[in-house]
Amino acid sequence: MSSTVNLQSNGPTITVITNMYKPKTTQICNWKSFLKDELHPRSFLFGYLYPEDFTKFQCILSVFKYLVWRSVWAIVFLFMLILNGTISDYWSHSKYKHYQWFTYLTHWTSYLLAVTTTVDVICVIHIYLYKPDIVKEEYRRMPWFLQVNWFLTTCSNNITCLISIIHWVFIYQGETVSIFSLVTYGGIALYTIVNLCLVAAPVRIYHMIYPMLVMCFYALCNFIYQEYNLPNNIGSDKNYPGWNSNTDIIHTDLLFILISGVVHQFLYLVYILRLVASRYWCVTNRTSIYWQPDNTGDLTRQDIRYTFLTPT
């Protein structure tokens, strides 16, 4: 059941629809308008009108359940970080072991995931305690700490999937897979995709530049490491098989940077599919507002949310 009230002033008609089966991701906009906003230069940055999306699931309105989800994974990844460091220190035979962290993207990912999930929890708790207007969806500016959180999430999502591709495509030679490798190079990527399907946080197509910049920094670390002939953690003077010169490093890192961009496009596609699927699967009790342009001009989009199908 639904009730409709039409409000009209000197601008476009605004239709308020109350429907217990409305998706919380809301309001209609056609593909042209969506792409216009998505491809606008401001989408390079981390401004966003709906900061509450970083405190909840796509289809579940409970902040508490979201906090539990974030807390569990923060504990898991902190534990994995400690375990990874303990194993690396145990197996290391090199006096340069304190340098070797910069040579393995897996270690970068461990730290990045632990930091990102911890920041997730801190942000949600801070908003729940001190920013109730965000939880009530009355705040229409993106706080700086959520912008930092968005940046970390964008990079960690990308790199977790990237290391899985690198491992299974370029490094794996058919040997027996340990539980640790299966979790590191398979389980974490699976978590990333499942988490992206569940949470309400957006993905921006232009944000692919940020994980690519992280990979550029990683490439610089590899070049410096090779230039000074620092051995890795098992005593070898080569980081990975086939890296016999700086040229090999440059070619390999350039390939990884390009793959990082492709991975981001894949994650963006998952985000779009999530929005479309939520139109059918999400049930909420909330009031939605959408706009219909008329001959008087376009409506300012400060309170417009996007789905790709017309509400029924």
Across 42-48, average pLDDT? 90
Residue 90 confidence class, pLDDT cut points 50, 70, 90:
very low
H-helix or E-strand containing 6?
A: strand 2-7
CA Rg, the chain, in Å? 23
How confident is the model over 97-109, as pLDDT tens digits? 555 655 678 888 8
Q: Which of 130-139, 242-251, 291-300 is the most confident on average?
A: 130-139
H-helix or E-strand containing 14?
A: strand 13-19
pTM for the complete prediction?
0.77
50-54, 194-198, 229-233: the lowest-pLDDT one: 229-233
Give the CA angle between residues 89, 95, 96 to the nearest 5°: 85
How confident is the model over 76-85, as pLDDT tens digits? 999 988 877 6
Asked if 265 and 208 count as a contact pair (C-beta separation under 8 A), the reply is yes
CA 126, chain centre distance (Å): 20
Q: Which of 202-211, 240-249, 300-309 is the most confident on average?
A: 202-211
What is the structure's pLDDT at 102? Answer: 57
What is the structure's pLDDT at 136? Answer: 83
Is it the case that residue 312 has pLDDT exceeding 50? no
CA 153, chain centre distance (Å): 4
What is the structure's pLDDT at 99? Answer: 52
Across 258-271, average pLDDT? 95
How confident is the model over 137-165, as pLDDT tens digits? 888 889 999 999 999 999 999 999 999 99
Percent of the chain beyond pLDDT 70?
68
Across 256-283, average pLDDT? 89
Could you tell me the residue ranges of all domains in the chain?
Answer: 50-282
Across 117-146, average pLDDT? 91
Residue 116 φ/ψ region, left for φ over 0, alpha for ψ in the -120 to 50 degree band, beta for the rest: alpha
Cα–Cα distance, 189 to 171 (Å, whole number): 17
What is the structure's pLDDT at 283? Answer: 53
Across 288-294, average pLDDT? 41
Cα–Cα distance, 176 to 58 (Å, whole number): 38
How confident is the model over 207-259, as pLDDT tens digits? 999 999 999 988 887 777 777 665 554 444 444 544 556 666 778 888 989 99
Across 114-122, average pLDDT? 95
Could you give phi then psi for residue 296, rounded to 5 degrees? -85, -10
What is the structure's pLDDT at 202? Answer: 93
Residue 95 confidence class, pLDDT cut points 50, 70, 90:
low
